[in-house]
Structure 1
Amino acid sequence: MIDPNWTSLLPPVLAIVLAIWTKQVYLSLAGGLWLAWTMLSEWNPLSGIAASIQGAVDVLGSDAQVILFTLVIGALIATVEASGGVRGFVRFLERNKWVDSAKKSQLLAWATGMVIFIESNITVLVAGSVARPLFDRYKSSREKLAYIIDSTSAPICILIPMNAWGAYNLGILEGLGVENALMVYNYWQIGFRVVFGQRF
Structure 2
Amino acid sequence: MSTFGAVPPTGPVPGAPFQSEETLRWPGLIGGLSIAFGIITLLGSCCGGVGAALMPLALGAAGLKVGPMPGSILAWMVFDVVASLALGYMLFAGGLGVLRRRAGGPRMLLRYAAVRLVLVVPMLVVGILLVPASAKWSAQFMEAQYAAQEESGQPVTEDQEAALEAARTPTALNYVMTAIGPFLGCAYPIILLVWLRRPHVRATWESWDA
Q: Which has the larger radius of gyration?
A: 2
Return the structure number with greater relative CO, CA threshold 8 A, min gap 6: 2
TM-score scaled by length of structure 1: 0.23
